[in-house]
Every structure is written in structure tokens, then in C-alpha cells.
């Protein structure tokens, strides 16, 4: 009797059977870890939840760390802010291989904004972060969501130069980042940061106006080119 596999819970395989399996069909260790994280429901004791998410944030697998970050965000685990920052820094090393599509970094950046992390330096570096990955015919930037989340983080923590940083994002090469900056400029920003919100709303109109003026100029040039 072979028993069950301690990693995936399925039948234990012999070495020959495992070798004959296609790579796609072989048990993947991260799947068991993801299942364990998915089993952490609202009834889970906070101490147990904190411990499990803390361990998962240390995991080398980007999917496991990303799931842990999302859970930290959902359960408002402010205690894990330092662990989230440390995990993000790890996935900056050899990022295309270790965190394809910025899966972990996107989840971590979103979690830090929700948890009201006030690390301005993190957001300043994140709003400029680009991760080019190979695609058919060239490369694609997979860090757009990271930049947009970090832009929100700068506004949320009341950074005095948040609006100039938003203006830079309005000139981002990727249209999704420009759209994100425009949406952020239009927000009423009612998340409990009243002082930052007053300063932001006073300048957001100018940022939005700049975006609309740029769009109008682009349409005008396109129309001139067709005539």
C-alpha cells in the first residue's frame, strides 16, 4: 500500500510512474499550498490566519505569495505590512522568471494600499516600475497595475508631490496606465484621509484638464492627418 502523497494528497506514485507522466499532469507543490490558503475562511482564528499568511508570504512561488497578499488585503492584516514589503523586494530579483506577469507584485501593491501603508519610497519606486516580458513579436509591460496601485498609494498617504507624479503617469507609454491615472484624478478620494483628500482634490482638476487637453490635441492631429 503506497498511501497518499504528502504534497498533493493524491495517491503516492512510484518513480517509474512519475517519470512517465507528462509534466502538466505531475503534482505541483504550490497547488497544495494554494488549497490550504483557500481553506482559510472568515471563521479562521486571526492568530492562525496571521501565521499561515506570514509563512505563505515567505514562499518562493509567486502564485502562493500573491494569494497570501490578497488574503492579507481582504482580512485587513495590518500586521503583515513589513512582510508584504519584504516579499515585494524578493520578487524584484530576476523578476521575469520568478514573478511572471507581476502576479505577486500586483497583489502586494494592492494590499499595501488597502492596508494604508505609508511607505512613500516604496510607492515612488513602484510608480516607475516597468517589467518587460517576451511576447510574440516583441515585449510587453506587465507592471501597469503596479504603477497604478502605487499612484493610489501616494495619494492615500498624503504625499505632497502626488499630483506631479500622477501627471507623469498621464504620459506613461502604456494607455492602461494613462487611463488609470485619469480615473485616479477623477476620484473624490473619500477613504478617511481628509487632509490628503483636500489637497488632492484641489489639484486633481488641473491634472484632469491636462489629460483632456492632450486627448483633444491628439484627436485634432488625427483629423488633420485624414484631411
Per-residue pLDDT, 190: 44
Band of residue 1 on the pLDDT scale cut at 50, 70, 90: very low
Band of residue 102 on the pLDDT scale cut at 50, 70, 90: very high
Between 199 and 110, name the one with better pLDDT.
110
Least confident span in 29-33, 55-59, 139-143, 155-159: 155-159
pLDDT surpasses 80 at 22: no
Task: Specify the pTM.
Answer: 0.73
Per-residue pLDDT, 42: 84
SS (H, E, C) the chain: CCCECCCCCCECCCHHHHHHCCHHHCCCHHHHHHHHHHCCCCCCCHHHHHHHHHHHHCCCCHHHHHHHHHHHHHCCCHHHHHHHHHHHHHCCCCHHHHCHHHHHHHHHHHHHHHCCCCCHHHHHHHCCCCCEEEECCEEEECCHHHHHHHHHHHHHCCCCCHHHHHHHHCCCCCHHHHHHHHHHHHCCCCCCCHHHHHHHHHHHHHHHHHHHHHHHHHHHHHHHHHC
Band of residue 28 on the pLDDT scale cut at 50, 70, 90: confident
| Mean pLDDT, all residues of the chain | 82
Terminal-to-terminal C-alpha distance of the chain? 80
Band of residue 7 on the pLDDT scale cut at 50, 70, 90: very low
Per-residue pLDDT, 9: 52
Band of residue 88 on the pLDDT scale cut at 50, 70, 90: very high
Band of residue 29 on the pLDDT scale cut at 50, 70, 90: confident
What tens digit of pLDDT does each residue of 153-197 get?
A: 998 888 888 888 999 999 999 999 999 888 887 763 444 444 444
Amino acid at each position: 500500500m503506497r498511501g497518499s502523497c504528502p504534497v498533493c494528497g493524491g495517491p503516492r506514485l512510484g518513480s517509474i510512474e512519475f517519470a512517465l507522466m507528462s509534466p502538466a499532469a505531475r503534482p505541483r507543490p504550490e497547488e497544495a499550498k494554494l488549497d490550504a490558503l483557500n481553506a482559510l475562511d472568515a471563521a479562521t482564528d486571526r492568530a492562525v490566519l496571521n501565521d499561515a499568511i506570514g509563512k505563505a508570504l515567505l514562499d518562493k512561488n509567486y502564485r502562493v505569495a500573491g494569494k497570501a497578499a490578497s488574503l492579507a488585503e481582504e482580512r485587513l492584516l495590518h500586521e503583515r505590512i513589513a512582510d508584504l514589503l519584504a516579499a515585494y523586494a524578493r520578487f524584484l530579483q530576476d523578476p521575469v522568471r520568478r514573478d511572471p506577469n507581476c502576479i505577486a507584485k500586483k497583489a502586494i501593491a494592492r494590499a499595501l494600499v488597502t492596508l494604508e501603508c505609508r511607505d512613500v519610497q516604496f510607492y515612488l519606486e513602484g510608480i516607475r516600475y516597468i517589467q518587460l516580458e517576451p511576447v510574440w513579436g516583441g515585449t510587453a509591460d506587465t507592471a501597469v497595475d503596479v504603477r497604478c496601485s502605487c499612484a493610489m498609494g501616494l495619494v492615500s498617504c498624503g504625499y505632497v508631490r502626488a499630483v506631479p507624479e500622477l501627471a507623469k503617469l498621464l504620459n506613461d507609454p502604456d494607455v492602461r496606465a494613462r487611463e488609470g491615472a485619469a480615473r485616479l484624478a477623477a476620484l473624490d478620494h473619500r477613504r478617511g484621509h481628509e487632509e490628503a483628500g483636500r489637497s488632492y482634490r484641489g489639484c486633481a482638476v488641473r491634472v484632469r484638464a491636462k489629460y483632456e487637453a492632450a486627448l483633444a490635441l491628439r484627436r485634432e492631429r488625427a483629423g488633420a492627418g485624414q484631411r
